[in-house]
Structure 1
Amino acid sequence: MIKEFLRRFIRPIDPWLLLFTFLVFLLSCIVLYSASNQDMDKISDKFTFLGVALCVMWVLASMPLQVLMRLALPMYVIGVLLLVAVALFGSTSHGAKRWLNIGVTKIQPSELMKLALPLMLAWYFHHFEASLNWKHFIVAAVLMVIPVGLIMKQPDLGTSLLIAAAGFYVLFFAGLSWRLIGLMVLAGGGLAYVVTHWNLCIHILREYQCQRVATMLDPMQDPLGAGYHIIQGTIAIGSGGLLGKGWLNGTQTHLDFIPERTTDFIFAVFGEEFGLIGNIILVLLYLLLIIRGLSIANNAATLFGRLLAGALTLTFFTYAFVNMGMVSGILPVVGVPLPLVSYGGTSMVSLMAAFGILMSVGKDRKLMKA
Structure 2
Amino acid sequence: MERVFKKLKGDKWIWIIVILLSVWSILAVYSSTGTLAYKEGHGTETYLIKHFTIIFAGLVLMYFSHLLDYRYYAGISKILMIITIPLLLYTLLFTNSVNDANRWVTIPVINQTFQTSDMAKLALITFLARMLTRKQENIKDVKSAFVPIMGSVCVVIILIAIANMSTAIMLFAVSILLLLIGRISVKQIAYVSIAGVFLLTLVVLLGPRRQTYISRVETFMGKGEPDPDKEFQATQAKIAIATGGLFGKGPGNSTQRNLLPHPYSDFIFAIIIEEYGAVGGVVLAAMYLILMFRCIRIVTQSPKAFGALLAAGLGFSLTIQAFGNMAVAVGLGPVTGVPLPLVSMGGTSILFTSVAFGIILSVSRNIEELKQKGQGKLPNDDRKVKDKVIVGEIPAMA
TM superposition score category, shorter chain reference:
0.7 to 0.9
| Counterpart AA for 1:132 | I
Q: CA RMSD in A?
A: 3.0
What per-residue deviation string (whole Å, max 9, x for no partner) do you get for residues 182-218 of structure 1? 78779999999xx8xxxx9644761011001111112
Q: Is the 8 A contact 1:100 1:107 kept in 2?
A: yes
Q: Report deviation, 1:297.
A: 1.9
* Match of residue 52 from structure 1: 57
Q: For 1:268, which of 247, 262, 270 is the aligned residue?
A: 270
Q: For 2:232, which of 224, 228, 233 is the aligned residue?
A: 228
Q: Is the 8 A contact 2:140 2:185 kept in 1?
A: no
What per-residue deviation string (whole Å, max 9, x for no partner) do you get for residues 232-285 of structure 1? 1112112222222333333333xx222211111111111112221111111112
* Match of residue 117 from structure 2: 110
Q: Report deviation, 1:355.
A: 0.6
Partner SS state of residue 244, structure 1:
coil
| Residues in 1 aligned to 2:328 and 2:57: alpha-carbon distance in whole angstroms | 29
| Residues in 2 aligned to 1:361 and 1:147: alpha-carbon distance in whole angstroms | 25
| Residues in 2 aligned to 1:190 and 1:13: alpha-carbon distance in whole angstroms | 41
Q: For 2:348, which of 307, 324, 346 is the aligned residue?
A: 346
Partner SS state of residue 93, structure 1:
coil
Q: Is the 8 A contact 1:219 1:230 kept in 2?
A: no
| Residues in 1 aligned to 2:47 and 2:271: alpha-carbon distance in whole angstroms | 16
- Assess, with a 3 A threshold, how the Cα gap between structure 1 residues 190 and 137 changes in structure 2: closer, same or farther: closer
210-219 or 6-15: which moved more?
Answer: 6-15
Q: Is the 8 A contact 2:321 2:339 kept in 1?
A: yes
Q: For 1:244, which of 218, 242, 248 is the aligned residue?
A: 248
| Residues in 2 aligned to 1:72 and 1:201: alpha-carbon distance in whole angstroms | 29
Q: For 1:133, which of 132, 140, 155 is the aligned residue?
A: 140
Q: For 1:161, which of 154, 161, 169 is the aligned residue?
A: 169
Q: Report deviation, 1:165.
A: 2.9
Structure 1 unaligned runs (5+)? 1-5
* Match of residue 85 from structure 1: 90
1:2-151 equivalent positions in 2, closer than 5 A: 10=7, 12-37=9-34, 39-101=44-106, 103-104=108-109, 105=111, 106-133=113-140, 135=142, 136-151=145-160
| Counterpart AA for 1:365 | I
* Match of residue 322 from structure 2: 320
| Residues in 1 aligned to 2:33 and 2:315: alpha-carbon distance in whole angstroms | 30
262-271 or 93-102: which moved more?
Answer: 93-102
What per-residue deviation string (whole Å, max 9, x for no partner) do you get for residues 39-81 of structure 1? 3333322221121101211221111122111212121111112
| Residues in 2 aligned to 1:90 and 1:231: alpha-carbon distance in whole angstroms | 32
Q: Is the 8 A contact 1:13 1:58 kept in 2?
A: no
- Assess, with a 3 A threshold, how the Cα gap between structure 1 residues 282 and 88 changes in structure 2: closer, same or farther: closer
Q: Is the 8 A contact 1:294 1:309 kept in 2?
A: yes
| Residues in 1 aligned to 2:282 and 2:55: alpha-carbon distance in whole angstroms | 24
Structure 2 unaligned runs (5+)? 35-42, 374-398
Q: Is the 8 A contact 1:61 1:358 kept in 2?
A: yes
Q: Is the 8 A contact 1:170 1:308 kept in 2?
A: no
Partner SS state of residue 32, structure 1:
helix
* Match of residue 3 from structure 1: none
Q: Report deviation, 1:26.
A: 2.1
